[in-house]
């Protein structure tokens, strides 16, 4: 099967059925080393594999991905010396090159790897399916554990009986105790294994894209727990070899329910904070006030210094789904009521880009469909090239549906994978009517961008993030500048 990488365009071929031999050869070259298998080579798993391969323990690391075209190109590119990650963090390439030099990182799709593992780190996606952006009841979204359970079963069906399984995936609270542990008992009974020897732990990742990608694993605080004390002790022993715990101490919680709740709670808190300020930004606009000066005044109180600021919307893999995952678990796992405030936060955040659309409609009316629009920024987060669930998508789709000619620029991207669209890394678009500042990239405050604006002289600039509260003022005589939350 041939597969083309969406990163470098190269074509890869992985010979099906030949990986067991490759794994055996890899293990033979890494005799005497403990074997860590990382299940999932996505955004978290690939970086985790590099950190483990470069740890002081010098593990032999095997990354396992799916036997699909998407998995094949990752596997083949890793084994061929091309890292399937794009990052501004120089440590990513450095760690990959060091692992290749050491010869202790191998990728495969073959479940034979599980038979050799001393530790299996679970880093697979677990998504929430939203049926609409208006989440009025629990039935409007769903959490399907089928694929997750299948992935866990593939490990348990082949692993040794005394391994440590460390789940890093963000899961609904109750997953380790109510889903994974019963599977251990069921499958180990069939295999005549002793389930009490199996060690199950949960330690959620806090991985962030950007310049601190590797450090967000290696040099950051970690929370962990085990299904029992033996499991927790084993997880602690492993994590101490991977994380610099002398500077970033580990925090052990009482059980896996606690760590699972901890992850979705911290993300739900942040999502609610963002949703909270969005409503006040809209009020500030209607009242003709400046939300930024209001926030600055409030932040003088130390107890309120974490208030967020307005934005286009919420993106990324965590804040867009974790509150819903928690709410689903509250009802389905523990028989409690759904988490209404957390669900409401996701609804508000998902619809945030529509406020920007409304401002554009108020300004241009039906003529909006004939305008040429330029987005400054496509990523969901400042200073990174990551388009996962970017809020730009909803506003982009709405403008395209109206007939607008939409141009995309992002200094960190050349291709928008989810939309299969090219993105201009350098500004070339001319005759632009509307510029939307949609991401707070540091470059957008530079002279080159202000020179571009001055040369293009669009009719309208919509700054959705308050990036340039003072800098854009210079254009007001010639261009209508709207900054969300400033009431202008």
The strand pair at 460-463 and 434-437 is best described as parallel
Assess whether 31 and 115 both reside in one domain.
yes
Tell me whether residue 68 is in a domain.
yes
Q: What is the DSSP letter of 222?
A: E
pLDDT band at 3; cut points 50, 70, 90: low
d(CA 60, CA 104): 5
- 56-70, 103-117, 188-202, range with the lowest pLDDT: 56-70
Kind plus residue range of the DSSP H or E element containing 278: helix 256-287
Q: What are phi and psi of 368, to 5 degrees?
A: -55, -35
Q: Do 224 and 314 lie in a common domain? A: no
Is 302 found in the same domain as 240?
no
137 and 13 in a common domain: yes
Please give the Cα distance from 230 to 201 (Å, whole number): 10
Same domain flag for 74 and 215: yes
469 lies in which domain range?
A: 283-483
Pair (36, 152) in one structural domain: yes
Q: Are 212 and 313 members of one domain?
A: no
Say yes or no: 183 and 252 in one domain: yes
Model pLDDT for residues 170-194, shown as the tens digit of each residue: 999 999 999 999 999 999 999 999 9
Sign of CA dihedral 51, 96, 318, 274: positive
Whole-angstrom Cα distance, residue 208 to residue 284?
31
Has residue 162 got a pLDDT over 80? yes
| Eight-class DSSP state of 485 | T
Last residue of a domain, one of 257, 291, 318: 257
* Residue 41 within a domain: yes
Instruction: Look at residue 274 and tell me if it is in a domain.
Output: no
Q: Is the pLDDT of residue 152 over 50?
A: yes
Average pLDDT, the chain: 91
Same domain, 365 and 293: yes
Same domain membership, residue 309 and residue 170:
no
Inter-residue contact 32 to 76 (CB < 8 Å): no
In contact, 74 and 14? CB cutoff 8 Å: no
In a domain, 277, yes or no: no
Q: Tell me whether residue 372 is in a domain.
A: yes
Total domain count, the chain: 2
What is the reported pTM?
0.90
Same domain membership, residue 36 and residue 90: yes
430: number of Cβ within 10 Å: 11
- Residue 115 contacts residue 148 (beta carbons within 8 Å): no
Mean pLDDT over 418-442 rounds to 92
Domain membership of residue 356 (yes or no) is: yes
pLDDT confidence tier of residue 6, bands split at 50, 70 and 90: low
For the record, the structure tokens of 446 come out as: 């530079």
Question: Who contacts 151 (Cβ-Cβ below 8 Å, separation ≥6)?
Answer: 39, 40, 122, 124
Q: Quick one: pLDDT at residue 16? A: 44
Place of tokens 């002790």: 233
97 Cβ neighbours under 8 A, 6+ residues apart: none
Please report whether residue 43 resides in a domain. Answer: yes
| E strands in 68-152 | 105-108, 119-122, 128-130, 141-143
Report yes or no: 419 and 393 within 8 Å, Cβ to Cβ: yes
CATH of the domain at 213: 3.40.50.720
**What is the pLDDT at residue 481?**
87
Domain final residue pick, 257, 292, 316: 257
Would you say residue 453 lies in a domain? yes
Instruction: Check: CB of residue 188 under 8 Å from CB of residue 198.
Output: yes
Long-range pairs, 417-425, Cβ under 8 A, ≥24: 417/6, 417/387, 418/387, 418/388, 418/390, 418/393, 419/387, 419/393, 423/378
| Shared domain check, 213 and 297 | no
């Amino acid at each position: 099967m041939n597969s083309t990488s969406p990163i470098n365009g190269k074509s890869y071929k992985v010979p099906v059925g030949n990986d067991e031999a490759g794994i055996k050869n890899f293990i033979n070259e890494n005799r005497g080393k403990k074997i860590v298998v990382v299940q999932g080579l996505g955004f978290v798993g690939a970086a985790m594999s590099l950190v483990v391969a470069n740890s002081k323990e010098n593990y032999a690391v095997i990354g396992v991905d799916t036997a699909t075209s998407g998995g094949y190109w990752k596997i083949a590119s890793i084994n061929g010396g091309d890292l399937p990650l794009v990052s501004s963090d120089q440590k990513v390439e450095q760690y990959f090159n060091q692992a290749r030099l050491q010869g202790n990182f191998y990728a495969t799709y073959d479940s034979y790897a599980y038979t050799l593992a001393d530790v299996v780190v679970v880093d697979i996606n677990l998504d929430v399916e939203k049926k609409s952006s208006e989440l009025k009841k629990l039935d409007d979204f769903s959490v399907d554990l089928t694929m997750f359970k299948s992935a866990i079963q593939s490990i348990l069906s082949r692993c040794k009986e005394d391994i440590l399984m460390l789940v890093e995936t963000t899961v609904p609270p109750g997953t380790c105790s109510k889903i994974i542990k019963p599977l251990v008992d069921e499958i180990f009974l069939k295999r005549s294994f002793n389930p009490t020897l199996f060690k199950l732990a949960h330690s959620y990742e806090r991985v962030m894209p950007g310049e601190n990608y590797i450090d967000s694993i290696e040099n950051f605080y970690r929370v962990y727990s085990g299904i029992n004390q033996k499991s927790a002790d084993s997880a602690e022993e492993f994590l101490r070899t991977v994380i610099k715990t002398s500077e970033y101490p580990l925090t052990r919680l009482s059980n896996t329910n606690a760590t699972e709740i901890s992850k979705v709670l911290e993300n739900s808190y942040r999502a609610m904070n963002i949703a909270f300020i969005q409503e006040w930004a809209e009020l500030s606009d209607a009242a003709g006030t400046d939300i930024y000066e209001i926030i600055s005044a409030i932040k003088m109180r130390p107890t309120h210094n974490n208030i967020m600021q307005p934005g286009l919307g919420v993106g990324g893999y965590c804040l867009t789904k974790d509150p819903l995952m928690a709410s689903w678990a509250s009802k389905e796992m523990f028989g409690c009521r759904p988490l209404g405030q957390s669900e409401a936060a996701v609804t508000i955040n998902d619809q945030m880009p529509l406020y920007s659309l409304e401002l554009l409609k108020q300004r241009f009316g039906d003529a909006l469909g004939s305008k040429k629009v330029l987005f400054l920024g496509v990523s969901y987060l400042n200073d990174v090239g990551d388009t996962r669930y970017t809020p730009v998508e909803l506003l982009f789709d709405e403008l395209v549906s109206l007939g607008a000619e939409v141009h995309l620029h992002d200094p960190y991207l050349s291709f928008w994978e989810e939309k299969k669209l090219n993105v201009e890394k350098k500004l070339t678009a001319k005759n632009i009517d509307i510029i939307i500042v949609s991401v707070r990239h540091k470059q957008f405050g530079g002279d080159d961008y202000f020179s571009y604006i001055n040369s293009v002289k669009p009719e309208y600039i919509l700054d959705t993030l308050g990036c340039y509260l003072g800098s854009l003022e210079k254009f007001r005589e010639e261009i209508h500048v709207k900054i969300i939350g400033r009431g202008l």
